[in-house]
C-alpha cells in the first residue's frame, strides 16, 4: 500500500488543525493509501501547538508534529516538512481547509499511473479581492518575462509529488525560498488540475499587501538577474541621451549664440539622474543583501520540539 505524507504548515491555526485532521482521516478512510500527517507549527502564538499535542494521541494515522523555535515562514515550514516525510507521495497543503484534503486522493491516483511526477492544483477562480488578484496576475507576467522559470497563473504550492521530486526539492538549500519558482526550476512532468479554493475555515490570512510585495520581489531576485541588466541598459541609454544633449548644447553655444539653459534644467537633471542612480544602487543592494545572507549558511529553520504518535517507524 502506498503512503501519502501531508506537509501542513501551521501558523496560528488553532481553529483549524483539529478539523483538518478529521477531514484528512475521513478522506483517506476507505482509500488504498496509508496516511501520514506532518504538522509544522511555525512559531504559533495561539494554542495551535497545544491542540497538535492533543492530536498526537489519535491513532487513525501517523502523525508527526514539528514545532519551530519561532516563526520562520511558510517556505521554511515546507522545507522542514520535506526533510521529515517518508511517504511514496508528498503533498503540501494549507491547514485552513481552503484546499480540501479529499482533493489529494485524485492527485495520488494520477501519480499511481506513473505518467506524471507531480500534480498541482491551480485556482480556477480567485476568491480574493479583485485588485489583489490583478496585481498577482501582473506579477506572474513579470516573473515569466524576467526569469528563466515559467509560473502557471493561479498555481500555488498545493502539489503532490513522488520521491524523486522530493529529493530534488531537498537539494535546493537556499535560504530565500520561493517554492513556485523552485517547482518550475526543477522541472519534471507536472499535471495541472483546476480547483476553486474554499473560504478559510477559521482565523485570518497571514498575508498582507506589503508581505506579498516583499515575497514577490524576493521571488524575482531569486530567479532572475534581469533587474540588474535593466539597470545597466537604462544607465547606458541615459548616458547616450546625456551625450547627445551635451553635443546639442555645444553646437548651440558655438554657432547660434543661444544661451545654455540655466539653473532649473541643471537642478532637474541632477535630481533625475541622482534618483535613478540611487534606484539602481538599491537594486544592486537587494542582490548583495540576499547574497550576504546566503553566504552565512544559516539553517533555514530551527526545531524546538518534535513529537510523533508512535506510529512513525522511522524516528527523526
Ligand atoms: N503559514 C505558515 N507560516 C507563516 C504564514 C502562513 O506556516 O508565516 C501557513 C498557514 O498557517 C496556512 C498556510 O501557511 O496553513 C497558508 O497561509 P494563509 O492561509 O495565511 O495564506 P493564503 O491562503 O491567504 O494565501
Ligand atoms: Mg489560506
How is residue 101 annotated by DSSP?
Answer: T
Dist. CA 11 → ligand 1 center (Å) = 6
Q: Which three cell numbers stand for residue 31?
A: 482509500
Rounded to 5 degrees, what are φ and ψ at 264? Answer: -60, -40
* pTM for this entry: 0.87
Question: How confident is the model over 222-242, as pLDDT tens digits?
Answer: 888 889 988 889 888 988 898
Dist. CA 244 → ligand 2 center (Å) = 54
DSSP secondary structure, 59-77, as one string:
-SSEEEEEEESS---HHHH
Mutational test site, ligand 1, from 96, 208, 210, max ligand atoms within 8 Å of CB: 96
Task: Measure the CA–CA gap between 118 and 182, rounded to whole angstroms.
Answer: 13
User: In DSSP terms, which residues pair with 266 in a beta bridge?
Assistant: none
Q: Which ligand is nearest to the CA of 74?
A: 1
Any idea what the Cα angle at residue 47 is, between residues 44 and 53, rounded to 5°?
A: 95
Q: What is the pLDDT of residue 315?
A: 42
Q: What is the pLDDT of residue 312?
A: 58
Residue showing cell 506513473: 114
User: In DSSP terms, which residues pair with 162 in a beta bridge?
Assistant: 89
The average pLDDT across 233-255 equals 87
**CA dihedral over 63, 67, 73, 77, signed as positive or negative:** negative
Amino acid at each position: 500500500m502506498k503512503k501519502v505524507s501531508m506537509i501542513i504548515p501551521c501558523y496560528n491555526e488553532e481553529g483549524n488543525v483539529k478539523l483538518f485532521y478529521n477531514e484528512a482521516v475521513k478522506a483517506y478512510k476507505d482509500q488504498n493509501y496509508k496516511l501520514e500527517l506532518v504538522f509544522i507549527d511555525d512559531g504559533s502564538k495561539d494554542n495551535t501547538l497545544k491542540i497538535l499535542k492533543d492530536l498526537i494521541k489519535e491513532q487513525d494515522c501517523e502523525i508527526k508534529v514539528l514545532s519551530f523555535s519561532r516563526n520562520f515562514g511558510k517556505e521554511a515550514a515546507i522545507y522542514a516538512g520535506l526533510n521529515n516525510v517518508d511517504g511514496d507521495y508528498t503533498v503540501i497543503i494549507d491547514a485552513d481547509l481552503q484546499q480540501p484534503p479529499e482533493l489529494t486522493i485524485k492527485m495520488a491516483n494520477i501519480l499511481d499511473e506513473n505518467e506524471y511526477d507531480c500534480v498541482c492544483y491551480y485556482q480556477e477562480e480567485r476568491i480574493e479581492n479583485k485588485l489583489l488578484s490583478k496585481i498577482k496576475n501582473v506579477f506572474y507576467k513579470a516573473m515569466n518575462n524576467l526569469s528563466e522559470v515559467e509560473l502557471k497563473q493561479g498555481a500555488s504550492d498545493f502539489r503532490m509529488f513522488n520521491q524523486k521530486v522530493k529529493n530534488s526539492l531537498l537539494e535546493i538549500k537556499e535560504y530565500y525560498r520561493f517554492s513556485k519558482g523552485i517547482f518550475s526550476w526543477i522541472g519534471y512532468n507536472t499535471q495541472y488540475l483546476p480547483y476553486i479554493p474554499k473560504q478559510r475555515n477559521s482565523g485570518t490570512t497571514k498575508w498582507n499587501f506589503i508581505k506579498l510585495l516583499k515575497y514577490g520581489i524576493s521571488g524575482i531576485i531569486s530567479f532572475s538577474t534581469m533587474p540588474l541588466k535593466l539597470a545597466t541598459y537604462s544607465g547606458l541609454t541615459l548616458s547616450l541621451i546625456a551625450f547627445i544633449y551635451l553635443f546639442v548644447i555645444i553646437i548651440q553655444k558655438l554657432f547660434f549664440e543661444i544661451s545654455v539653459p540655466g539653473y532649473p534644467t541643471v537642478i532637474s537633471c541632477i535630481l533625475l539622474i541622482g534618483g535613478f542612480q540611487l534606484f539602481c544602487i538599491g537594486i544592486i543592494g537587494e542582490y548583495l543583501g540576499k547574497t550576504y545572507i546566503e553566504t552565512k549558511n544559516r539553517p533555514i529553520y530551527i526545531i524546538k520540539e518534535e513529537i510523533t504518535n508512535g506510529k512513525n517507524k522511522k524516528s527523526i
